């Protein structure tokens, strides 16, 4: 069927060892034979088989990435960061998705096993057991935004606490003393951390810390809308609102504008995540940008280090930095719009232009 190293060896009148040496340009092969072998390789259009090679050298020179989904801008950004960094380290990338489904996660782990030298896993509800059961202990693994308490895996998490802290501190620096929060759902780890950051910023900034200022939301636009309506009904309303995510801040904005209240003059707004829409609404919304790309970059760097150092590698928990993006809604001037290269249109054209 396919042309193998044996065919080349036979045709060039050498042993397969010599052919292999030529291919991996080992320097101990005579110029003459080298030429002859290369000639035959071209002639037969021989292409080495990676499976055989990997099996032999016990390396695949590829790393794996398992995501809950491959869909949407967030995961796309992760993939991009991972891809670029992997390529930079001369590693190839293998992507798989789990759809946050127990069965599929196991299938993904099993499929990827043996095909990669290391693995990055991003999944909300993966547990250490599942990983242990489906991956050899020897395979380097980095967990991305997984909520595992276990210290037996290296892990990276978004610094929700610090992001919220920074954003709220920024609001305080605008002179706000009474800042409400629209919280995320209970038992959500991100939400809890963001709340914690909010509270600490109030304490440190000597602003009003009061449970009355805390409203419950569930990360949905609707819950943000409801929370803002509730605030506006009160006798005294806060001078600023920090929502635990952007969806809720958008909902809140609707409610506030409906009530004829001016943003940011009468009430300032800030969110979290920096989703694309926040820069298109009016006024543009201040938010905390999660450097998703960097998430991927860091993950790969940790992983490669783990692969290289093997048992010497020290596992740790890393917090990925975030960045406050001030816009009109907190009282800052509107920054320039992001470049257009992000849009589908341009991508299609980029991919089809010669």
Using CB under 8 A, which residues numbered 274 to 293 contact a copy of itself?
274-277, 280-281, 290, 292
* Binding to a copy of itself in span 300-329, by CB under 8 A: none
Q: Does 29 bind DNA (CB under 7 A)?
A: yes
What mask of x and - would describe binding to a copy of itself in positions 101 to 120, judged by CB under 8 A?
A: ---x---x-xxxxxx-----
Contact 181, 149 (CB under 8 A): no
> Residues 33, 38, 178, 188: which binds a copy of itself (CB under 8 A)?
188
Q: Does 45 bind a copy of itself (CB under 8 A)?
A: yes
Q: Which does 33 bind (CB under 5 to 8 A by kind): DNA, a copy of itself, none?
A: DNA
**Contacts of 235 by beta carbon, 8 Å cutoff, 6+ apart:** none
> Residues 32, 136, 211, 336: which binds a copy of itself (CB under 8 A)?
136
Contact 340, 296 (CB under 8 A): no
**Contacts of 138 by beta carbon, 8 Å cutoff, 6+ apart:** none
Q: Does 348 bind a copy of itself (CB under 8 A)?
A: yes
What mask of x and - would describe binding to a copy of itself in positions 197 to 236, judged by CB under 8 A?
A: ----------------------xxx---------------
Question: Whole-angstrom Cα distance, residue 156 to residue 345?
Answer: 33
> Residues 76, 173, 262, 316: which binds a copy of itself (CB under 8 A)?
76
What mask of x and - would describe binding to a copy of itself in positions 236 to 275, judged by CB under 8 A?
A: ---------xxx------------------------xxxx
> Residues 15, 26, 52, 210: which binds a copy of itself (CB under 8 A)?
52
> Residues 16, 44, 70, 259: which binds a copy of itself (CB under 8 A)?
70
* β-pair partners for 325: 287
Whichever of 118 and 224 has its CB closer to DNA, that residue is: 118
Provide the strand spans (E) within the chain. Answer: 62-67, 92-97, 118-122, 141-144, 154-158, 179-183, 214-216, 240-243, 268-270, 287-290, 317-320, 322-325
Radius of gyration of the chain (CA): 27
* Binding to DNA in span 56-95, by CB under 7 A: 56-58
The CA–CA distances, whole Å, from 192 to 110, 197, 290 equal: 33, 9, 16
Shortest CB 70 distance to a copy of itself, Å: 5
DSSP per-residue string spanning 171-230? HHHTT---EEEEE--TT-HHHHHHHHHHHHHHHHTT----GGGEEE--SSHHHHHHHHHH
Locate 196 and state its tokens: 């914690």
Whichever of 202 and 307 has its CB closer to a copy of itself, that residue is: 307
Shortest CB 23 distance to a copy of itself, Å: 12
Asked whether the CA dihedral 51, 57, 62, 63 is positive or negative, the reply is positive
Contact residues: DNA, CB under 7 A = 1-2, 4-6, 13-18, 20-21, 23-24, 28-30, 32-34, 46-49, 51-53, 55-58
């Amino acid at each position: 069927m396919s042309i193998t190293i044996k065919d080349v060896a036979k045709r060039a009148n050498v042993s397969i060892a010599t052919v292999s040496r030529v291919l991996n340009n080992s320097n101990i092969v005579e110029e003459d034979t080298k030429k002859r072998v290369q000639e035959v390789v071209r002639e037969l259009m021989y292409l080495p088989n990676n499976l055989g090679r990997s099996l032999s050298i016990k390396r695949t020179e590829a790393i794996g990435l398992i995501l809950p989904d491959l869909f949407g801008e967030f995961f796309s950004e992760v993939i991009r960061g991972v891809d670029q960094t992997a390529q930079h380290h001369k590693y190839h990338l293998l992507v798989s998705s789990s759809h946050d489904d127990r069965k599929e996660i196991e299938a993904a782990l099993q499929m990827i096993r043996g095909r990669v030298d290391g693995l990055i896993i991003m999944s909300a509800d993966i547990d250490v057991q599942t990983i242990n059961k489906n991956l050899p202990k020897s395979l380097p693994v980095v967990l991305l935004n997984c909520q595992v308490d276990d210290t037996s895996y290296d892990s990276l998490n978004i610094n929700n606490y610090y992001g919220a802290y920074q954003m709220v501190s920024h609001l305080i620096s605008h002179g706000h003393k009474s800042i409400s929060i629209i919280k995320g759902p209970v038992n959500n780890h991100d939400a809890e951390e963001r709340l914690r950051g909010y509270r600490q910023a109030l304490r440190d900034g000597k602003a009003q810390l009061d449970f009355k200022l805390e409203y419950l939301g569930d990360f949905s636009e609707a819950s943000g809308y409801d929370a803002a309506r509730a605030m506006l009904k009160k006798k005294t309303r806060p001078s600023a609102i920090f929502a635990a995510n952007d969806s809720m801040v958008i909902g809140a904005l609707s409610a506030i504008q409906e009530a004829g209240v001016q943003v940011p003059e009468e009430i300032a707004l800030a969110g979290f995540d920096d989703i694309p829409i926040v820069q298109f609404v009016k006024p543009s919304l201040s938010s905390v940008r999660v450097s998703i790309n960097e998430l991927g970059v860091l993950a790969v760097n940790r992983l490669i280090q783990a692969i290289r150092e093997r048992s010497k590698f020290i596992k740790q928990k890393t917090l990925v930095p975030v960045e406050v993006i001030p816009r009109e809604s907190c009282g800052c001037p509107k920054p320039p719009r992001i470049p257009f290269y992000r849009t589908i249109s341009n991508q299609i054209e980029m991919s089809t232009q010669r």
